[in-house]
Amino acid sequence: MLSDQSTTGHEPDPEPREECGVFGVWAPGEEVAKLAYYGLYALQHRGQEAAGISVSDGSQIVVFKDLGLVSQVFDEQVLSSLQGHIAVGHCRYSTTGSTIWENAQPIFRTTATGSGLSFAHNGNLVNTAELRERTTAAGLKPHAGLTGSSSDSDLMCGLLAAAAADKGIEAAALELLPTLRGAFCLTFADESTLYAARDPHGVRPLVLGRLERGWVVASETAALDIVGASFVREVEPGELLAIDAEGLRSSRFATPEPKGCIFEYVYLARPDTTIAGRSVHATRVEIGRRLAKEFPADADLVIPVPESGTPAAIGYAQESGLPYGQGLVKNGYVGRTFIQPSQTIRQLGIRLKLNPLRDVIRGKRLVVVDDSIVRGNTQRALIRMLREAGALEVHVRIASPPVRWPCFYGIDFASRAELIANGVDADGVRRSIGADTLGYVSLDGLVAASEQPKTRLCTACFSGEYPIPLPDDALIGKHLLEGLDAADGPALPVSPAGYGAEDAVRRP
């Protein structure tokens, strides 16, 4: 049956979170559901709230999705039941809409002619309110349920399915895509064709890979590696790809204006991924080298905050000549969980994820390298823990500039009021977190480490310069659609491009 599940009401995570990872495969004769599963496994870091896979066998599309990690949602029995030659996969972290089952992806819609559409999205639109008006005018409603979906992804899928009834998916996509504003990497499919599209600014990464008997599209090159696909190229900004029995074809729906997210290099992407021809790991090591030049420290040992601070800490140690050591142990099995921690466990905070190696730390002046500071809660607790473990001094070095502005293109940062660096200089942040010294890499140093021209990068969270114009504050935000839907009353069931029959969207 189709039902709603709600989350356990966790407190906000202090770390920035990316919205989603997408994966698509067209490969006759392959177990495409299992390829999608492993592809999503490689992309799990991009979204840990929900996961889903749709499969088409040429005549129908079946979708299986649920809240939870990829390994929690799928098992061998489920994957074996998903038979076909086209798969679309998605792992989600929400930046538009709450964490409810209806917002899990892939989203499934049927057109007026009865064909199916499976749709997955990574990114965040900034003209969501406008799209909502268009769907309302067209009589389209979100999926009926206890709450109903409330994501920009569902709006796009509904508009695409409605337009496809007259002109087909590909023509409808070429008509819809130029009207979308913001960051979007899309992977979607009908019964016979796999599609992929990337916004004209190319804010989020999306790549194309080749299998011996098919094609793959994915958010990161690391997902190609895990399924044995060879990297072909990036999906170009403003490009729509279509893959079917006739081969691969490309269409342009907008002029490219590249503005790739620089925070992908800092934190979001896996270190074994390549973006715009530049290794993420190599970039992070180089950031650490530049950080050591810009903010040297008189210390005994360089330690990272694992895992995201590790490459930069290596670079810092190499450039400074200070020894590199492991002073913190990370529990690799701590991710998003549906078990609400007790008050006692919650008070321990960061110890659930990190624990100090006291013999390494005791009596040392430490350089602690982390990827970013957002609210400052994690660093504050970490520094307290290190001092309790016997550290004489704690010198914090950050592998990104101060985060002073929220992201509206697919990263769930805190609001500007919650950002610790908003309106406070570095010394104010240092005092707040309790460090002896604090140094951030400069924006110029970060850009240089990426080896990308600054004109091709989005630096909005550091600079406040948003490359895609934003609407009024009242027309943007994670829960915008929920507010609009509440004003309109409960969602109505089904639409001209409504969800498929209950047996087409399966749950346990």
Residues annotated within a binding site for Mg(2+):
308, 370-371
SS (H, E, C) 333-387: CCCCCCCCCCHHHHHHHHHHCEEECHHHHCCCEEEEEECCCCCCHHHHHHHHHHH
Paired residues of 302 in beta bridges: 324, 367
Residue 28 per-residue DSSP state: T
Q: Contact, 403 vs 376, CB < 8 A?
A: no
**In 10 A of CB 77, how many CB atoms?**
7
Q: List strands edge to edge, sheet with 50-56.
A: 230-234, 207-211, 214-218, 20-26, 86-92, 50-56, 61-67, 505-506
Q: Binding site for [4Fe-4S] cluster: residue ranges?
A: 261, 407, 458, 461
- Catalytic residue list contains 20: yes
Length of the chain: 508
What is d(CA 272, CA 431) in angstroms, rounded to the nearest whole number?
A: 35
Tell me which of 20, 91, 157, 185 is the catalytic residue. Answer: 20
Q: Contact, 141 vs 494, CB < 8 A?
A: yes
The letter for the amino acid at 4 is: D
Tokens 């990497």 sit on residue: 185
| Cα dist from 508 to 33, 118, 502, 505, whole Å | 17, 19, 12, 10
What is d(CA 490, CA 130) in angstroms, rounded to the nearest whole number?
A: 20
| Helices 426-433, 377-388: inter-axial angle, 10-degree rounding | 50
- Catalytic annotation, residues: 20
